[in-house]
């Protein structure tokens, strides 16, 4: 193990480059960290060691058996954007971080991963095929074209439930009175995939603002899916950490607060355990 330098002693990025040069990617030598955070000398910045649980998860992922080897995994992530006119639209605060972490974890587990993504600021994890979409209708089309070939479908996207009925092909001008916006329901992508005969193993996400347990259990039944990961909207949107509660036929499994990539690996391991039981 190599200790990361404190920022005052040299830039961590430079050090990482040195280590990378001395390391040997061709022989499977990888580097974990450093990351940003507080230091013993109270000076923050790049150069902090990863948390032990993160190091453990990274090492386990690198050395462990490939739980989803040869599986095709289809994932949705990020927000959808439903245009009102040429410059305005209806969207939500999803950053895509959880979905992208799940895509990375699935690749690490040996899966062939396609990520259907709404607009995010994130780069696709290496090895992931990304399909960019904007609206829920685009996402619906992209998913339905691929769902039958998938072994697993993980629906992490924050899909807008409604879209403006009549998006204007020009910028709407300000008027004096109220402006009425009529909304029509979007297709329930996860619901449709779950209803496919011989469809993939479906995993849903639920972002709740209250009564997480009751709402999540009801949602799993309503969508007809074997596994649902529930989180509180205010604890996940835009954040790098999250806490998940998994609901399946055996009941409830808590995944306590951790970086999203750690949770994603735990979720992927849970899915891999459930797959043979189908």
Q: How far is the CB of 127 from ligand CTP (least distance, A)?
A: 23
Q: CA 264: distance to chain centroid?
A: 8
Q: What share of the chain is helix, strand, coil (3-state, %, to 5)?
A: 35, 25, 40
Give residues 177-196 in contact with ligand CTP (rule: CB under 6 A).
186, 188-190
Q: How far is the CB of 241 from ligand CTP (least distance, A)?
A: 20
By CB under 6 A, residue 151 contacts ligand CTP: no
x/- letters, 124..143, toward ligand CTP (CB under 6 A):
------------x-------
Q: How far is the CB of 223 from ligand CTP (least distance, A)?
A: 6
Nearer to ligand CTP, 84 or 206 (CB): 206
Supply φ then ψ for residue 183, to 5 degrees.
-115, 140
Nearer to ligand CTP, 132 or 188 (CB): 188
Q: How far is the CB of 32 from ligand CTP (least distance, A)?
A: 31
Q: Which residues pair with 116 in a beta bridge?
A: 76, 131
Give the strand pairing for 201-208 and 72-77. unpaired
Instruction: Please identify which of the residues 92, 176, 178, 186 carries the catalytic annotation.
Output: 92
92 belongs to the catalytic site: yes
Among 94, 114, 155, 266, binds ligand CTP (CB under 6 A): 155
Q: Which residues pair with 45 in a beta bridge?
A: 37
Give residues 198-237 in contact with ligand CTP (rule: CB under 6 A).
204-207, 219
CA distances from 131 to 89, 135, 196 (A): 21, 13, 22
Q: What's the DSSP call for residue 125?
A: P
SS3 for 65?
coil
Q: Tokens at residue 17, please? A: 């480059």
How many whole angstroms separate alpha carbon 219 and alpha carbon 126? Answer: 32
Nearer to ligand CTP, 61 or 202 (CB): 202
Residues that bind ligand CTP (CB under 6 A): 76, 136, 155, 157, 159, 161, 186, 188-190, 204-207, 219
């Amino acid at each position: 193990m190599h200790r990361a330098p404190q920022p005052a002693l040299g830039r961590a990025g430079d050090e990482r480059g040195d280590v990378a040069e001395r390391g040997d990617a061709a022989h499977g030598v990888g580097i974990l960290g450093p990351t940003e955070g507080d230091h013993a000398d109270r000076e923050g910045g790049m150069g902090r060691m990863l948390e032990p649980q993160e190091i453990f998860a990274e090492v386990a992922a690198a050395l462990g058996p490939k739980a989803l080897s040869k599986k095709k995994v289809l994932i949705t992530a990020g927000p959808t954007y439903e245009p009102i006119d040429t410059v305005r639209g209806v969207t939500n605060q999803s950053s895509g971080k959880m979905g992208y972490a799940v895509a990375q974890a699935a690749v690490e587990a040996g899966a062939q991963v396609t990520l259907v993504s709404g607009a995010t600021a994130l780069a696709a994890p290496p090895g992931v095929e990304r399909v960019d979409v904007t609206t829920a209708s685009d996402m619906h089309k992209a998913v339905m074209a691929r769902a039958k070939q998938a072994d697993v479908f993980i629906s992490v996207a924050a899909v807008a439930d409604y879209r403006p009925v009549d998006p204007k092909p020009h910028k709407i001008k300000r008027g004096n009175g109220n402006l009425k916006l009529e909304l029509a329901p979007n297709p329930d992508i996860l619901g449709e995939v779950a209803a496919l005969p011989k469809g993939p193993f479906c995993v849903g996400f639920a972002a709740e603002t209250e009564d997480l347990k009751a709402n999540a259990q009801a949602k799993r039944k309503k969508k007809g899916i074997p596994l649902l990961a529930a989180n509180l909207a205010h604890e996940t949107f835009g954040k790098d950490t999250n806490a998940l509660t998994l609901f399946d036929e055996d009941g409830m499994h808590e995944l306590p607060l951790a970086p999203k990539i750690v949770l994603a690996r735990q979720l992927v391991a849970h899915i891999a355990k459930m797959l043979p039981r189908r």
